[in-house]
Amino acid sequence: MQLIDGKALAQKIHSNVAKEVETLKQEKNVVPGLAVILVGDDPASHAYVKMKAKACEKVGFYSITHNMPETISQDEIIQIIEMMNSNPHIDGILVQLPLPKHIDTDKILEVIDPKKDVDGFHAYNVGRLVTNLDSFVPCTPLGVMKMFEEYNIDLEGKDVCVVGASNIVGKPMASLLLNANATVTVTHIYTKDLKAHTSRADIVVVGVGVPGLIKEDMVKEGAIVIDIGINRIEDGSLVGDVDFPNVSKKCSYITPVPGGVGPMTIAMLLSNTLKAAKARA
């Protein structure tokens, strides 16, 4: 069993981004800029945004966070996004999800200029991803693809089971895998017999937020397991959606939680923002 070390790979990407930022500054006088919109007081969102800001600072980006109260109106958020759309120093705009109940998330994401949509959630970028055209790809699934690349895991012809069908992870993950010529099964909350699908897959990718959902008897010998879930359990520790101690015994490769897919998400955000800055330059 080999651990897929997302932390080490993310650090490698960070240092490559930092080098490219330096070149961009010297040759084109362009500094990549990222604007984050954070609504409300969700502690997880605040912690995550803080991590993003720290990463931006480390690689030499300009970054700004718009903290907004829970009570803000939809129109006010739209106004701020439109301001960012027309700001020439901002290359990436990111709306931290989830948004409060009174805000229409789809409407907000549609307002972002697709050229600054570094989260890859705009319908324009989603369409381009599905049709295998160059686009901004959601950071978590893109990070998983980078892991496959780094560990020389060939996806062509592999049976892959994606557990979870969210717009943020499951659906874009399935599109990327299809584009890499894998045979993809997508399962979700209404799937009748999850084990029937996961146990015959060469690769299982899971991201649903259910601690220990994938058990040892649900994966075949030698499977590759990518655990995107991150859950804080009662004793305060972080665990994934996979019963790691037992499942890992059967795997050829597996991602740990923490230290697996998590760090890759921020690395890909930096990578997407750099891509947008290069397009501006």
The string of pLDDT tens digits covering residues 221-231 is 999 999 999 99
Average pLDDT over residues 87-91: 97
Q: What is the CATH number of domain 29-115?
A: 3.40.50.10860
* Region(s) of the chain under CATH 3.40.50.10860: 29-115
Whether this prediction's pTM lies above 0.75 is answered by yes
What pLDDT, on the 0 to 100 scale, is given for residue 74?
97
Q: Is residue 224 within 8 Å of 260, Cβ to Cβ? A: no
What percent of the chain has a predicted confidence (pLDDT) above 70? 100
Q: How does pLDDT run across 29-66, given as a tens digit for each residue? A: 999 999 999 999 998 899 999 999 999 999 999 999 99
Annotated active-site residue 19? The verdict is: no
Quickly count: other Cβ atoms within 10 Å of residue 234's Cβ: 6
What pLDDT, on the 0 to 100 scale, is given for residue 246?
98
Burial class for 259, CB neighbours closer than 10 Å (0-12, 13-18, 19+): middle
Burial string for 141-165 (b: 16+ CB within 10 Å, else e) reads bbbbbbbbebeebebeebbbbbbbb
Catalytic residue among 91, 96, 117, 243: 96
Catalytic residue among 91, 117, 119, 202: 119
Q: Which letter does DSSP use for residue 99 in this model?
A: P
139-262 is classed CATH 3.30.70.20: no
Average pLDDT over residues 183-200: 98
Annotated active-site residue 52? The verdict is: yes
Annotated active-site residue 119? The verdict is: yes
Q: What is the mean pLDDT of the chain?
A: 97
What pLDDT, on the 0 to 100 scale, is given for residue 165?
97
CA distances to 3, 111, 205, 251 from 33, in Å = 34, 18, 32, 40
Q: What is the separation, in whole angstroms, between the first and last Cα of the chain?
A: 44
User: What CA–CA distance (Å, rounded) separates 24 from 53?
Assistant: 20
In single-letter form, the type of residue at position 5 comes to D
235's CB contacts (< 8 A; 6+ apart) are none
* Region(s) of the chain under CATH 3.40.50.720: 139-262
**280 falls in which pLDDT band (50, 70, 90)?**
very high
What backbone torsions phi and psi does residue 73 show, to the nearest 5 degrees?
-85, 160
Average pLDDT over residues 162-183: 98
